[in-house]
Amino acid sequence: MTLREIESTLPPGFRFFPSDEELVCHYLHKKVANERIAQGSTLVEVDLHAREPWELPEVAKLTASEWYFFSFRDRKYATGSRTNRATKTGYWKATGKDREVRGPAAAAASSSSSSRAVVGMRKTLVFYQGRAPNGVKTGWVMHEFRLDSPHSAPRRSTYS
Residue 14 is predicted with a pLDDT of: 77
Which of helix, strand or coil describes residue 115? helix
Where do the domains of the chain lie?
Answer: 3-150
- Cα 70 from Cα 82, distance rounded (Å): 19
Angle at 76 between CA 72 and CA 79, to 5 degrees: 100
Q: Could you name the CATH architecture of 3-150?
A: Beta Complex (2.170)
DSSP secondary structure string for all residues of 136-160? EEEEEEEEEEEESSTTSPPPGGG--
9-49, pLDDT tens digit by residue?
878 877 778 899 999 998 998 888 888 877 666 788 888 88
pLDDT-derived band at 157 (thresholds 50, 70, 90) equals very low
The reported pLDDT for the residue numbered 108 is 44
| pLDDT single digits (tens) 57-109 | 888 766 677 888 888 878 787 787 888 889 999 999 999 999 999 998 764 45
